[in-house]
A and B are shown apart, each in its own frame.
Chain A
Amino acid sequence: MIGELGQLALCFALALSLVMAVSGLMGARAHASAARKVATSSTLGFLVFVVLSFGTLTYAFVVSDFSIIDVASNSHTLKPLVYKISGVWGNHEGSMLLWVLVLALYAGLVAVLQRGGERLTSAALGVQGLLAFAFLLFILFTSNPFLRLDPAPFEGAGLKPLLQDPGLAMHPPMLYAGYVGLSASFSYAAAAMMVGEEGWARAARPFMLIAWIALTSGIALGSWWAYYELGWGGFWAWDPVENASLMPWLIATALLHSALATEKSGAFRTWTLLLAIAGFSMSLIGTFLVRSGVLSSVHAFASDPTRGFFIMMLIALAIGGALALFAWRAPKLQGGAAFASVSRESALLLNNVFLVASCACVFVGTLYPLVLDALNRTKISVGPPYYVLTFAPIFFALLLLVPFGPKLGWKRGDLKTAWRSLVPALGLAAIAAVAVLAIASPRSLAATGAFAVAGWLIGASILDIRKRRGARASAFAAALAHAGLGISLMGVTGTTVWRSESLTVVAPGQKMTVGPYALRFDGVTREKGPNYIADRGHFALMDGDKVKAMLQPEHRFYPAEGEDMNDTAIHTTGWRDLYLALGDDRGGGRFAIRAYVSPLAPLIWLGGLVMALGGILSLWGRLRVKEPEKAPAAPAVALAAE
């Protein structure tokens, strides 16, 4: 019964999304307030039914209703409750339903907040409705999570042990909140082109910010998860799935900067529209890459192309439609702002050039092997060395330029004044470089340069915060976000350059040293978890003769899934991680143990957190100030207010 209820709710949602699309687009006309009312209420109705449908599926997972195929093939009665719930999005069908749920939540937010003119909001809801309609069709026809299984099995097949982790419970919803959040900017941009309203960037800003915050946190969370879960101490592998989340982030970052210029001085109007389209396009392409199976093998994709083909059509329609609208309407928007060659506007434009080039690099690196393979040319792999040679220099150059932006005035800036005010940051950069040369070994030119840039970024941010004490939240937010970049850079450099590792076999009672740490192995015990059996290693971290801490890495076996998993143990001082992974049983109580010392590793995610905090601060500043939204905010007015 419960499955049919979910399915029915999904069908109602489909119908309502169509109502949303039609009435929303009709409401874009001047005298159609009735249509606008319908658009708002159908959006809320659509949201209710999607929530109902998602709730139903979650319920089916919680009570282990194995008469539903999706539950039977992805769940197990012995799984802890939290993983029963996270199992809802740990599979293709459920994750697509989560995708639509997030889309519905954003649509609901657009309808409730009614930012921008009512025609603009209505048209934006119309576009959200079109997207929702397409994705619901996709779910119902190719990925229905409510299909039944008869007879129902006694037990489910379980969830991949790798996914049974708190990090994974949080990671996909966070990432989707970012991915799909870019649909709001996309819809607003498309709506702005239909209605011809120029204040759209201001109206859409909170949605851009929410999406960016979620993407930043989602990527950081994913990288942290990979770090402690995969057992190799790595944090980023340039894997296509990771790249799929990085591309929207790079474009969303560019969009945030470009939209700022559009809002403040009316510059780059068409370019900002294009970025809003590109950002969501990257989300769609990422979804296609991850969901179509094209990554595992182009040929596997070709043998069962239903899903991939459907998403491909969807992408073509969404991107093609938006670009056609752009080609038709954008020339009319061309304002042509005036600003000096040295100005905040120029700096933001330069920022965009570098961010788009970085994104192009990730895009080409991810798709090139697939295209070559599809054309039956050589098979190649594009791994970290490619990105070190292409992405790294481009992004590094961007980081060098970051501190200048906030120092230059709108319309006209002065490079000399900017340089002079940045001297203390240069000093900090020099100190950082000297400190690295003096303290760290092995000496590394790359690390010295990276630390200088980190010092430069953080120093400039401190200057910004000090100078503008009590000033607007937005300046403070930008400084935080830029400082976060510097913090992450230190973490990435420290871990990459100075990580040390050792691989040893230890017997119970034996002592071992890893870098500056002394460890005593106290043997391995057999433990029983809720749905796994574990070999738990006991390692005492020694401080002289005293035990400072116990580290307990585990090697788990999940009988339901028939898979092994490592659960690492990490001891962190905040500056340095000691990372242990338990290896094979070598007999006689002896075990192989892999240990890493990763200096500054925690800074990688601390930086991400600081960046996200910057975003949150900016969002708070935006929502706190009640802005004059009903009147279409002319750029000139915004400038005067500034």
Chain B
Amino acid sequence: MKGVFVALLALFSLLAMPRPSHAQPADTSAGETFSNPNLEARARHLQRQLRCLVCPGESVDESASPFSADIRHLVRQQIAAGQSDQQIEDFLVARYGDSILMKPPVVPDTWLLWLAPFLVLGTGGIVAWLVIKKAAAREA
């Protein structure tokens, strides 16, 4: 038993994780990048929360479409102008509608969407509890 754990410990310690390199060359012309890593991280995070509306299933961050390039440009412009993440999202929603957000908004129309998984879980839990109680009564 002990041998297994020693082996696994050794195995885990082998997983030398790379430290992410924040020190990127400041201003490469490969797309726009902020030289300030905090602003860059914000931009990347926002881009991942936005959906490319012309390509199925890709975020603005990943997509190579001209639409996404425009949105990326817009996001960076607004960050540079000192807008907050919320303000930028609101601006984009006003312009393109809710579907640009990867995370659906919580509004009456989407209550069921957000609640359904937990309703099923709860109902299933109650039913399972009843079934188990009945089976236990039979067993006793």
Contact = CB atoms under 8 A, between A and B. Distances in A.
Contact of A349 (B19, B97, B131): B131
A430 to B, nearest CB: 11
Contacts of B132: 339, 341, 346, 349
Interface string B6-40: 00110011111111110011001111010000000
B121 A576 contact: no
A569 interface: no
Contact of B29 (A384, A515, A586): A586
Contact of A385 (B9, B33, B103): B103
Interface in A395-433: 411-412, 424, 427-428, 431-432
Interface stretch (B74-82, B84-92, B108-116): B108-116
B101 interface: yes
Contacts of A240: 56-57
A303 interface: no
Given A356-B120, A377-B109, A583 B30 contact: yes
Contacts of A592: 30-31
B19 to A, nearest CB: 5
* Tier of interface size on chain A: 35 or more
A336 interface: yes
A381 B104 contact: yes
B28 to A, nearest CB: 5
Interface string B129-140: 001111110111
B117 A380 contact: no
Contacts of A384: 102
B102 A381 contact: yes
Interface string A589-625: 0001100010110000000000000000000000000
A385 B49 contact: yes
A368 B125 contact: no
B98 A432 contact: no
B135 A345 contact: yes
A336 B125 contact: no
A514 interface: yes
A638 to B, nearest CB: 18
B134 A379 contact: no
B36 to A, nearest CB: 16
Given A384-B102, A428-B8, A441-B19, A340 B136 contact: yes
B94 interface: no
Nearest to B126: A353
Interface in B38-70: 49, 51, 56-59, 62
Contact of B21 (A267, A515, A600): A515
B13 A435 contact: yes
A295 interface: yes
18 contacts: A240-B57, A346-B128, A353-B121, A364-B117, A365-B113, A368-B104, A380-B99, A383-B102, A385-B49, A428-B8, A431-B5, A435-B12, A502-B21, A503-B24, A516-B16, A516-B18, A593-B30, A599-B17
Q: Which 10 A-B pairs have the closest CB atoms?
A: A383-B102, A239-B57, A500-B20, A385-B103, A338-B138, A361-B117, A353-B124, A357-B121, A515-B18, A360-B120
Interface of A: 230, 232, 234, 237-242, 267-268, 295-296, 336-341, 345-346, 349-350, 352-354, 356-358, 360-361, 364-365, 368-369, 372, 377-386, 389-391, 394, 411-412, 424, 427-428, 431-432, 435, 439-442, 455, 458, 462, 466, 494, 498, 500, 502-505, 513-516, 575-576, 583, 586, 592-593, 597, 599-600
